[in-house]
Amino acid sequence: MTGGALALRGPAFAFRHDPFEADPDDALIHWPDALVVMRDGLVTALGDHAALRPRQPDDLPVHHHPEGLIGTGFVDAHVHYPQMEMTGAFGETLLDWLDRYTYPTEARFADPAHAARIAALFLRALLRAGTTTAAVYCTVHEHAADALFAEAGRLGLRIVAGKVLMDRNAPPGLLDGADHGIPATQRLIARWHGRGRLLYAITPRFAPACTDAALEAAGRLWRESPGTYVQTHLCETEAEIAWVRELFPAAPSYLAVYERAGLAGPRAVMGHAVHVDDADLSALRETGCGVAHCPSSNLFLGSGLFRLHDAKAAGVRVGLGSDVGAGTGLSALRTLGDAYKVARLRGARLHPAQAFWLATAGGAAALRLESRIGNLAPGMEADLVVLDPRATPELALRTEGAGLADTLFALTALGDERAVRATYVAGRLAHDRDAPADTEGPARPVGAGRPPGRG
């Protein structure tokens, strides 16, 4: 057996350009029978199987997915792992929902054992959804971030995450001033940032939960911590924006609160940005911030309709966020179905190529990782998903004889975790939908699990 190498065979697709910037009908490359060769965590060769296979070693292990669809893994640009257990909590506006559900749920993470249990459940759920990279909010508890990073490292996922910082307008047990939150963040950065595939995000929850001093301290720490990220929330609801005006009367806009604190720039990802104006979009582009579009949670909480096409036209880097727990699931396919509905409600059209770009290359760009992840190509990290267009009777009926674009659209309209046949992280099988549940664990090396073929 060829040590350290593995190949996937089957129908595959990749992007040739950003479908928001050029013809979406010409944005996708499609191989009806592809070979994807992976070695040492990278894609090393990609092309038509008949042409490429003779140039590979005879003993190259091959996983054959003749009825699947191979693509790059999904990128979740905004998700709260502690809120997994409160997904689907009933009917509140954002600010009421935080008080009634979110803060009591996050308070439970004071127990390290609880944090470790939910972190493990959350990360396995990401893999079942085909998500290989995620930007994750933890709680204020240092050990809750430790739990997530430790398990993500064990599984091989690429995770950008951080402990939440907030020092006002939350229950006392969840507040931590700069004298505690910043040292804890510094320790977490030292332990985890740049370790394997793990990256740290300085995470002020949102402006109303932070004093000027806390935001400024977070901004200083970001400047002093090269390569780290910032993640926070921006303009999610009109009530939140009005509250920001009351709390920061000198700031000309919500985004300006972060800009003045030094928290806007490349590798800063703003969640939601639903109620932004043209000046905000220009500022987001000029500062280099990314935006996470969270359509499922915006619909669930009635927050509003994101201006996706306007943001892209303005040159803003936009990815897709599940935003669990206001989002109702981790499946990028389900979230893309909601993104389509939001676009239609705004009178726009979301092409299937644009949808899948948003959930992959768009998220990678928002995170400034587009040279590593977000597309299927030689030299990129081997984070792959094998989709199953026949996962349910409805999908099988809809995709029978369909072309690539129609198949992708059907997956967003009718698909969920059931349509994820397998997930590979860094070139290793990390989730096999059809494997017995007790066989799943860390990403398996070549030769583990079911025997590969030699196709």
- Residue pLDDT, tens place only, 276-310: 999 999 999 999 999 999 999 999 999 999 999 99
How far is it, in rounded angstroms, from Cα 127 to Cα 231? 22
Q: Among 148, 147, 186, which Cα is nearest to 165's?
A: 186
Helix (H, G, I), strand (E, B) or coil at 257: helix
Task: Report residue 156's pLDDT band, with 50, 70 and 90 as the boundaries.
Answer: very high
Location of structure tokens 């893994």? 73
Give the dihedral sign, CA 309/310/313/317: negative
Give Cβ neighbours of residue 173 (< 8 Å, ≥ 6 apart).
107, 110
How far is it, in rounded angstroms, from Cα 112 to Cα 27? 46
Q: Residue 31: what pLDDT?
A: 98
Q: Residue 97: what pLDDT?
A: 84
Q: Classify strands 62-64 and 5-15 as parallel, antiparallel or unpaired.
A: parallel
Q: Which CATH superfamily is domain 5-72+374-439 in?
A: Urease, subunit C, domain 1 (2.30.40.10)
Q: Which CATH superfamily is domain 74-366 in?
A: Metal-dependent hydrolases (3.20.20.140)
How far is it, in rounded angstroms, from Cα 133 to Cα 79? 11
pTM above 0.85, yes or no: yes
Location of structure tokens 């699947």? 68
Over residues 357-366, mean pLDDT: 99
Q: What is the pLDDT of residues 330-349, one digit of tens each?
A: 999 999 999 999 999 999 99
Q: What is the pLDDT of residues 209-253, one digit of tens each?
A: 999 999 999 999 999 999 999 999 999 999 999 999 999 999 999
Where do the structural domains in the chain lie, given as residue ranges? 5-72+374-439, 74-366
- Token reading at 386: 């094998």
